[in-house]
Amino acid sequence: MTGGIAPSIVGERPTPADEARLLASLPTGLLIGGEWRDASDGGTLEVHDPSTGEVLVAIASATPADGRAALDAAVAAQADWARTPPRERAEILRRAFDALTARRDDFALLMTLEMGKPLAEARGEVAYGAEFLRWFSEETARIGGRYATSPDGSSRLLVLKRPVGPCLFITPWNFPLAMATRKIAPAIAAGCTMVLKPAALTPLTALLFAQVLTDAGLPPGVLNVIPTASAGAVTGPLVRDPRLRKLSFTGSTEVGRRLIADAAEQVLRVSMELGGNAPLMVFDDADLDRAVEGAMLAKLRNGGEACTAANRILVHREVAAEFTERLVTRMREHTVARGTDPASRIGPLVDEATRSKVHELVLGAVAEGASLALGGAVVPGPGYFYEPTVLTDVPRGAAVLAEEIFGPVAPIVVFDTEEEAVGLANDTEFGLVAYAFTNDLARALRLAETLEVGMFGLNTGIVSNPAAPFGGVKQSGLGREGGAEGIEEYLETTYVGIADPWVGS
Ligand code: NAP
């Protein structure tokens, strides 16, 4: 169906009946070569609601043989797909953007159900995730090349851009839609085929999105989707398969490091969007209203389960007491509840393991001398809820400052000088994003030049933007997603050397 756009099947304020209807309408198979199929061994994977711990639905769980079949389909589709007119690929992306936007409430509810984030945030992710489709539909027709005369005039240079070829995408659970569209949209734009392995905790959004793309006219085999309970066993052989040309991974640095090592075997092109440990700096000349709101956004967006989450809040001694008091007041106002509850500002963490890790980091910091200014406890009852928490006097060596917290916990560290703040900010193996609040222009520019990060939020707590190159330095990754740079990750450069056309003419 490439005609009319279907509206959402659920309402803006979904009821339990809406939830049941949405779940019953989902594709639950593997998408391979344009067909929805069961796993080759009939195996299934249960997807849970983190706010209750209950099973939402069971879906097919791919085996290594299914993984190979998915790559076979991507390889078979590659040559024809690469030759499609750019405008045709652009229009598929644009139709998918329109369809995703029209089904905003379905996608938002689905993400809330499988991942836990409040509906308002899930709607924000639909808008953000869909924008990659629109952005890359616009980039499709702008893939260029060049023709030049060599400096000595003796030859001509032709530079062509071609699709890299079949790609493998591995995505995390924290942004089930946007982390997929950030890879799929530029790959479609460039003319690559692909196999997507979504996170085992949140595969439903990817399946529904694949259906939207199919309905938008994406040819069979261009996108193949293989959720699985055995990530390494299914993707390992694909990474070692010489027909695969690119691996793009978003997830933890630990897994990314292993995948880079595996990819080295056949010198596979890789893009890696890995972990973060963002510092958020508040200087004594900052607009404190802006700094508090920025910290709220950088800390609590997605319940703190974001690679861009402010992990270390560094505050100048002069403003530390006032900033802390205001942050505590704002965080206390946030209602912790199931994401479908209209009052919910913080949903559950994604699973028990994530919640236990968050709690251990908080207890560890307190044992080392930090004070609890707010929260610090597991919320009893079903689901994996955790209280919004503020830690002060956090000792410099505490694990909570070194590791990704991935929860609604704000550790505050006081500093005295800009040099000290920059030293603290850069004292990590990660380099994804940093935030600073200051009204001193020269200082802001010094920070932009010295912070070891791929992205810098200046007087803002959010940097994610489909029109900007998202990505990190150091152990936060390789490559960029979004912006004019994003499509380059899916293009290969071919240079053609040409004899001087005037010789012998
Ligand atoms: P993760 O544990 O690294 O998992 C990410 C993906 O990798 C999942 O699909 C997972 O499958 C798969 N995976 C795990 N082990 C694998 C293996 N041995 N071989 C192949 N695939 C494997 O990360 P996560 O917990 O889902 O996500 C949180 C992390 O992602 C955080 O570190 C966060 O900072 C990072 N992140 C980074 C960005 C960025 O743009 N830089 C954006 C979002 C998140 P299973 O689901 O089956 O385990």
Q: DSSP of 249-308, one letter per residue?
A: EES-HHHHHHHHHHHHTTT-EEEEE----EEEEE-TTS-HHHHHHHHHHHHHGGGG-STT
> What are phi and psi for residue 389, nearest 5 degrees?
-130, 140
**Considering only CA atoms, which of 162, 143, 163, 159 is closest in space to residue 498?**
159
Is any atom of ligand 1 closer than 6 Å to the C-beta of 274?
A: yes
How far, CA to CA in Å, does 2 sit from each of 134, 211, 212?
A: 17, 12, 10
Q: Is the same domain home to 118 and 214?
A: yes
Residue closest by Cα to atom 22 of ligand 1: 231
Of 12, 66, 58, nearest to 40 (Cα)? Answer: 66
Interhelix angle 441-450/418-426, rounded to 10 degrees, is 30
Distance of alpha carbon 47 from alpha carbon 22, whole angstroms: 14
* Cβ of residue 276 lying under 6 Å from some atom of ligand 1: yes
Q: Would the pLDDT of 4 be above 90?
A: no
Contact 457, 432 (CB under 8 A): no
Task: Give the three-state DSSP class for 255.
Answer: helix
Position 18 confidence tier, pLDDT thresholds 50, 70, 90: very high
For the cut 70, the answer to whether the pLDDT of residue 2 exceeds it is no
Determine whether the shortest distance from the Cβ of 402 to ligand 1 is under 6 A: no
Nearest atom within ligand 1 for CA of residue 406: 31
Residue 239 lies in a domain: yes
Are residues 61 and 201 in contact, defined by beta-carbon separation less than 8 angstroms? no
Residues 113 and 211 in one domain: yes
* 7 close to ligand 1 (CB < 6 Angstrom): no
Class of residue 287 by CB neighbours under 10 A (exposed 0-12, middle 13-18, buried 19+): middle
DSSP per-residue letters across 360-383: HHHHHHHHTT-EEEE--SBPPSSS
Verify that 365 and 428 share a domain, yes or no.
yes
Question: What angle is formed at CA 396 by the lines to CA 395 and CA 397, rounded to 5 degrees?
Answer: 95
- Helices (H) and strands (E) in the chain — how many of each? 15, 22
Name residue 31's beta-bridge partners: 36, 225
The pLDDT of 336-362, averaged and rounded, is: 98
Among candidate residues 288, 283, 317, 311, the one with its CA nearest the CA of residue 447? 283
pLDDT at 300: 97
- Residues 162-166 have a mean pLDDT of 98
Catalytic residue among 19, 131, 139, 273: 273
- Regarding whether 348 and 231 lie in a shared domain, the answer is no
Nearest 5°: phi and psi at 300? -100, -5
Task: Give the pLDDT of residue 1.
Answer: 44
Does position 505 have pLDDT exceeding 90, yes or no? no
In terms of Cβ atoms closer than 10 Å to its own Cβ (0-12, 13-18, 19+), residue 84 is middle
| Cα 15 to ligand 1 centroid, rounded to whole Å | 31
Tell me the angle at which helices 119-140 and 104-115 cross, rounded to the nearest 10 degrees: 120
In sequence order, the 6+-apart residues with CB closer than 8 A to the CB of 168 are 71, 194, 195, 197, 235, 238, 239, 244, 246, 247, 248
**Is residue 320 predicted with pLDDT exceeding 80?**
yes
Q: Which residue among the candidates 19, 167, 192, 307 is catalytic per the annotation?
A: 307
- Kindly report, residue by residue over 397-423, the tens digit of the pLDDT: 999 999 999 999 999 999 999 999 999
Residue 78 φ then ψ, to 5°: -60, -50
Decide if 472 is inside a domain.
Answer: no
Q: Is 72 helix (H, G, I), strand (E, B) or coil?
A: helix
Rounded mean pLDDT, 23-34: 98
Residue 300 and residue 226 share a domain: no
307 is known as an active-site residue: yes
Residues 385 and 265 in one domain: no
Is the CB of 74 inside a 6 Å radius of any atom of ligand 1? no
pLDDT at 3 over 70: no
Q: Whose CA is nearest to atom 39 of ligand 1?
A: 273
**Is 8 a member of any domain?**
no
Residue 134 covered by a domain? yes
Take atom 11 of ligand 1 and give the residue whose Cα is closest: 199
Residue 250 lies in a domain: yes
Residues 100 and 45 in one domain: yes
Same domain? For 426 and 445 the reply is: yes
Residue with tokens 């991935």: 406
Nearest to 228 by CA among 38, 26, 22, 33: 38
Structure confidence by residue, pLDDT tens digits, 107-138: 999 999 999 999 999 999 999 999 999 999 99
Quote the ligand 1 centre to 200 CA distance (angstroms): 10
Burial, 284: exposed, middle or buried (Cβ in 10 Å; 0-12, 13-18, 19+)? middle
Is residue 273 flagged as an active site residue? yes
Q: What's the CATH code of the domain at 108?
A: 3.40.605.10
Q: Is the CB of 275 under 6 A from ligand 1?
A: yes
**Residue 108 structure tokens:** 């938002």
In a domain, 4, yes or no: no
pLDDT (tens digit, 9 = 90+) per residue, 452-495? Answer: 999 999 999 999 999 999 999 999 999 999 999 999 999 999 99
Cα 256 to averaged position of ligand 1 atoms, centre (Å):
8
Same domain, 316 and 228: no
- Residue 82 is which amino acid? A
Same domain, 385 and 284: yes
Contact 182, 470 (CB under 8 A): yes
Instruction: Give 297's DSSP letter.
Output: H
Using the atom order of ligand 1, give the atom closest to the CA of residue 470: 40
Check pocket membership of 271 for ligand 1, CB cut-off 6 A: no
Domain total of the chain: 2
How does pLDDT run across 165-202, given as a tens digit for each residue? 999 999 999 999 999 999 999 999 999 999 999 999 99
Q: From ligand 1's centre to the CA of 308, what distance in Å?
A: 14
Q: In which domain, by residue range, is 461 found?
A: 278-465
Give 487's DSSP letter: G
- Domain shared by 285 and 384, yes or no: yes
Q: Which two tokens stand for residue 454?
A: 């791929």
248 touches ligand 1 (CB under 6 Å) = no
Residue 500 lies in a domain: no
E strand or H helix that includes residue 271: strand 269-273
Q: Pick the closest to residue 461 from 254, 247, 238, 311 (CA basis).
A: 311
CA of 171 to the centre of ligand 1 (A): 6
How are the residues of the chain apportioned to helix, strand and coil, as percentages rounded to the nearest 5? Answer: 40, 20, 40
CA of 172 to the centre of ligand 1 (A): 4
Count other C-beta atoms under 10 Å from residue 423's C-beta: 12
What's 340's domain CATH number? 3.40.309.10
* Signed CA dihedral, 451, 328, 115, 119: sign only: negative
Q: Which residues pair with 110 in a beta bridge?
A: none
**Residue 409 forms part of a structural domain:** yes
Give the pLDDT confidence of 287-304 residue by residue, as tens digits: 999 999 999 999 999 999
Whether 315 has a pLDDT exceeding 60, the answer reads yes
DSSP string, 302-319: GGG-STTSEEEEEEEHHH
Is residue 337 within 8 Å of 343, Cβ to Cβ?
A: yes
- Is 235 a pocket residue for ligand 1 (Cβ < 6 Å)? yes
Is the full-model pTM beyond 0.85? yes
CA of 501 to the centre of ligand 1 (A): 52
Residue type at 369 in one-letter notation: G
291 lies in the same domain as 244:
no
